[in-house]
């Protein structure tokens, strides 16, 4: 427990950091800083590219999902608080979204935050926090990622399917489930 491993492109494994509690979620910002949520303490550690470690923030209850936008903001999904918190690069915290049980998070190139909830809905939050329903999938989302073309890929938990949402809102099956 408490070890972060780093794998190089050739598969070489190195220990990047130790003593980070019980790591639960990871996110990397545009500057290469790694953020790690600690399940035990609710702390969010910041590790610089050189491996320097500090406590960046504390959520009291573990942040299960982390995501960074291009301007250096960190978003922490805390399902037990029904919230997504926003941390600015200087550590200032604000309630970004409430009334949602986040199940997964990601950000797009424009700074919008996408959050899957414990149901089958994916919500989109603009940088100012305006919420809209972006899409629905057959089973709760477990992974969200944008590809280089700006398409949102959604991995579903129960079906194992991966859906693709194009920037023009067209939905297709990228990979069929089990």
pLDDT for 132: 92
Convert the pLDDT of each residue in 88-140 to its tens digit: 999 999 999 999 899 999 999 999 999 998 888 999 999 988 999 998 888 88
- So what's the pLDDT on residue 177? 63
Torsion of CA 9, 12, 18, 24, to 10 degrees: 50
* Residue 151 per-residue DSSP state: P
Q: E strands within the chain?
A: 4-7, 13-17, 23-28, 34-38, 43-47, 53-58, 65-68, 74-78, 83-87, 93-98, 102-107, 113-117, 121-125, 131-136, 141-146, 152-156, 162-165, 171-175
Q: Which residues pair with 173 in a beta bridge?
A: 163
Residue 169 has what pLDDT? 67
Q: Is the pTM of this model over 0.85?
A: yes
Residues facing 86 on adjacent strands: 75, 94
pLDDT at 166: 87
Residue 118: its pLDDT value, please? 81
Residue with tokens 């809209």: 132
pLDDT of residue 51: 82
Measuring CA to CA, which residue among 98, 101, 35 is closest to residue 66? 35
The pLDDT of residue 174: 66
- What is the spatial distance between Cα 114 and Cα 155, in angstroms, rounded to a whole number? 13
* pLDDT at residue number 43: 92
pLDDT tens-digit readout, 140-160: 899 999 999 899 999 988 878
């Amino acid at each position: 427990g408490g070890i972060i491993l780093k794998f190089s492109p050739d598969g070489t494994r190195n220990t990047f950091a130790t003593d980070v509690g019980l790591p639960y979620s990871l996110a990397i910002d545009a500057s290469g800083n790694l953020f790690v949520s600690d399940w035990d303490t609710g702390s969010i550690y910041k590790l610089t590219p050189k491996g320097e470690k500090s406590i960046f923030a504390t959520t009291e209850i573990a942040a299960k999902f982390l995501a960074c936008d291009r301007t250096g903001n960190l978003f922490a999904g805390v399902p037990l608080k029904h919230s997504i918190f926003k941390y600015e690069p200087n550590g200032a915290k604000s309630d970004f979204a409430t009334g949602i049980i986040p199940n997964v998070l990601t950000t797009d190139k424009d700074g919008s935050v996408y959050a899957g909830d414990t149901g089958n809905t994916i919500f989109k939050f603009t940088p100012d926090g305006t919420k809209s329903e972006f899409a629905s999938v057959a089973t709760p989302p477990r992974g969200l990622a944008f590809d280089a073309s700006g398409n949102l890929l959604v991995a579903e938990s129960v079906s194992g399917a991966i859906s693709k949402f194009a920037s023009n809102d067209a939905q297709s099956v990228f990979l069929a489930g089990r």
